[in-house]
Structure 1
Amino acid sequence: MNELDWSDILLRLAVATLAGGAIGLDRDFHGKPIGPKTLGIVSLSTATVVVLAVQFAEPGKISDAASRVIQGVLTGIGFLGAGVIVQGHRLRVHGLTSAACAFLAACLGIACGAGQWKIVLIALALALILLTVGRPVERWLHRLVGGEDQAEAPPKTRRPDVS
Structure 2
Amino acid sequence: MLSIFDGLREVTLASVMVRLFLAVLCGGLIGLEREYKRRPAGFRTHILICLGAAMTTMTSQYLYLNLHFYTDMTRMGAQVVAGIGFIGAGTIIVTGRQRVKGLTTAAGLWAAAIAGLALGGGFYEGGLCVTVFVLAAELVFSRLEYWLLEKSPEINLYLEYSSRETIDRVLDLCHERGVKALHMEIARHTSGDKHNACAIFTLRLHKKCKIEMLLPVVAAADGVVSVKEL
List aligned pairs for 1:1-163, cutoff 5 A: 4-57=11-64, 65-86=72-93, 91-148=98-155
Which structure has more helix as a fraction of its residues?
1
- Deviation string 1:107-143 (CA, Å, 9 cap, x unpaired) is 0110010010111121111111111112210122233
Contact preservation (8 Å) 2:57, 2:120:
yes
Q: Which amino acid aligns with 1:140?
A: W
Check the 8 A contact 1:77/1:102 in 2, yes or no: yes
**Contiguous gaps of at least 5 residues in structure 1:** 155-163
List, as ranges, runs of 4+ consecutive aligned residues in structure 1 with deviation greater than 3 Å: 56-59, 86-91
Contact 1:42/1:102 (<8 A) preserved: yes
Residue aligned with 2:101, SS: coil
Contact kept? 2:19, 2:122, Cα under 8 Å? yes
CA 1:64–1:89: 2 relative to 1, 3 Å: farther
Secondary structure, counterpart of 1:148 in structure 2: strand
Q: Give the partner amino acid of 2:84.
A: I
Counterparts of 1:148 and 1:66 in 2: how far apart (Å)? 49
Distance 1:21 1:87 in 2: 27
CA RMSD between the two structures: 2.5
Q: Judging by fraction of residues, say which structure has more strand.
A: 2
**What's the offset of the Cα at 1:86?**
3.4
- 1:4-28 CA-to-partner distances (Å, cap 9, x unmatched) read 2111101111111111111000001
Query: What's the % identity of the aligned pairs?
Result: 31
Please, which runs of 5 or more residues in structure 2 have no aligned partner?
1-8, 157-227
Q: How many residues align?
A: 147
Task: Specify which structure has the bigger relative contact order, considering alpha-carbon pairs within 8 angstroms and separated by 6 or more residues.
Answer: 1
Q: Which whole-Å CA distance do the structure 2 matches of 1:6 and 1:139 have between them?
A: 45
Q: Please identify the structure whose Cα radius of gyration is greater.
A: 2
Q: Output the amino acid matched with 2:145.
A: E
Deviation at 1:67, TM superposition (A): 1.1
